[in-house]
Structure 1
Amino acid sequence: MLLEQYECDEDDMAWIAQHFPNLISLGVSLNIVSPLLFANLLHLQKIEVLKIHWGMFGETYQRLSHEERTKQQDYRRNFVLEYVERFPRLRFFDVEPDFYMADADGVLFTQDPGQPLPLERITTNHFFNFRRTPYLTHVNFYPSNEIIGNPAPCVFLTNLKVLEVRDVKGSLIFQILTLCGKQLEELKVKIFEEQDQLDVCDIFMLCPRLHKLHYFFLVHTEETKPFNNQLDASHFLNLKEFSLIWRLSYAYSSRLIALVLTAPLLERFTMKESFTMTYEVFTQLHRPLIDGKILQKLRKFQFGSHLEQPAELLKFLLLLPVHAPRLENMDYFGAHPSFLKLIEESPLQALNAVENFVYTHAKSSHYLTYDGDDSDVSDLD
């Protein structure tokens, strides 16, 4: 039952508890809360997924006196710090905004500190004592302003598989990955403001098991760091999905592409801002592609770039639908004016005659990181 857009009061919660005692998933918006509301919520002892949106800024809340607002804050803090532990099956806990997720010492749950909690997923803007949550596999850091606390407890995220971060400084993401990136399989990064970016090379150096990378950096500043020469094909052996929206420099982007496109398990490739290829990289990829040694599992290919392009890039694009046997879609999202005319005059559109293949000219760049099957994490988006 998902009621995020509906303001749930005491009577509503009592009705839900009475009529749906076996409820497994619940999403509610709460404005004025009380011990009675939480008591009724606690009747739902089979809850595994709990999503709460605190509506602290509505008209009803604003009419409260200072004393009543303080009491509301205490109710919310007690719920997060104490009541949540009383759901024995809770696997996924998402509260927004989570001002009360931790106390001053960074303790998330106060009761029975020695008892591990069954949580597998959580959305938070706090670094808390992750020692209490050894089963966490999915963490979404979604700061309203910034993540609160020290990242050191991330070392206890020993089962972490999926990490999502939004509007977090690159230097802080680097610290998090240093502490818990070795077992990470999926990383989603979305940055919409001018912040210190996270180097793509660092991601693959710190996350050797990475299956999926979705990196969305909507700031039109080019990557200026030099490419890490220690990064090689061995760091891409597990990569299945690569999505990067970022204006990289010509040299950096080309070297990165040379490694990503040789990943043996690669199924989805997206680079809508900086797809390019030097002559050396084209030469390096040309023969393996024709010989069927690379891109044999590729199903979706999305490209676009603000950079000037060598003629060899068009040759590669024309070869791809023919020599990547599982390729279903190739989407084009705009190019530098000097390359645009070549694209439009090329026989790319004619390649739609290739069986089970569709080429799409999207006319303009769309800032999307991923448009595939996201059913396993859609409830966090």
Structure 2
Amino acid sequence: MRVAAIGIGGAGGRIVDRLWRDYERRETAYLGTACAVDTDTQALNRLNTLPGDQRHSFGLLETDGDGTDRDRTSAIAAIEDERREVRRAIDPLVTSDIDAIILVTGLAGGTGGGATAQIADALAEIYTIPIYCVSVLPAGWDEKEAVDAMRALKTLEATVDGQILFDNEAWLTSGQTVDEAAESLNGTLVTRLGTLFAAGEATESKSVGQSVVDASEIINTLSDSRFATLGYASQELGTDEGTGESNVIDRLRSRFFADESDDIDEIEAYDAVETTLRRAVRDKLTAECTLDSADSALTVFAGPPAWLLRDAVTDGQRWLADELQSPEIRSGDMPTPDQSKLSVLVLFSGITEMPRLTELETLVEEAQ
């Protein structure tokens, strides 16, 4: 799936900067291009990977280039004044081969929370392709942040085709702050996003799956879905429980899995697929949800071709349908012949019950 990724505000810019790094290391070309837009020029300058011409500031008259200091009102005023200018900066990114536009933002930030919906609305006036938002929920129980985040979330519901949520609070360890954990948080999210968008973008015939996940299946899963979340798990093959510690013989052997399928124990491969899928579903999601409140899901199985047993993938799809109590489960595989890792990504969409949103709503009510 070819996407144009746009980071809005400080958090959004940093995530898209990390996504650009992920894109550069993969063989699959899933990013058409990417950019960051912000009212804080220093934050733009601190990005590590995005080229300079893919960083755009706005709202200089409103903010003097120093950001909004978490003030949504300033961001809204800034984007209203420069709505067309920001859209013109983004326009060159949306080429004819782009399947969807992905906005990335921190909902509690002033620029991200205040400007993202306006930017989405401006883009929707021109483009007919789907526009999605990766929306980052704040950590902690600050009432102002909760109010700002929920306002931004609800405004985005009316302007984008779906939102993939990431809950900072769920991913912090005890005593950690978001600033301290930023690299880890962004890496967790980007691994999942990169795996989702890279699905189906094989560059060689040996990397084409038996059941390819194409852009239309991702779009059909995400569109009009309200909220979505991502699960992910991986394990090194030839090791115990995916610890990532394999010996030299295991690593050498793994390089020939694609050509020596007779060497693979089918029971072991079946168990590996089943275990990794169940971990992806039952371990921590980007935002926790009540699984049977999701109305559809999409799974992507990636690994050496001989390990991606069709029966295991089919049975896994059937198990997930039972878990969700939904027949709408899409599935595909993404062979990675030169790797020794098996991974499973699961996209849950159409979610109606998310504990973190309930907590934030409670904080909003207390603040009123």
- For Structure 1 versus Structure 2, the TM-score category normalised by the shorter chain is under 0.3
* TM superposition score normalised by structure 2: 0.28
Larger Rg: 1
Q: Which has the higher contact order (CA 8 A, sep 6+)?
A: 2
* TM superposition score normalised by structure 1: 0.27
Task: Considering fraction of residues, name the structure with more helix.
Answer: 2
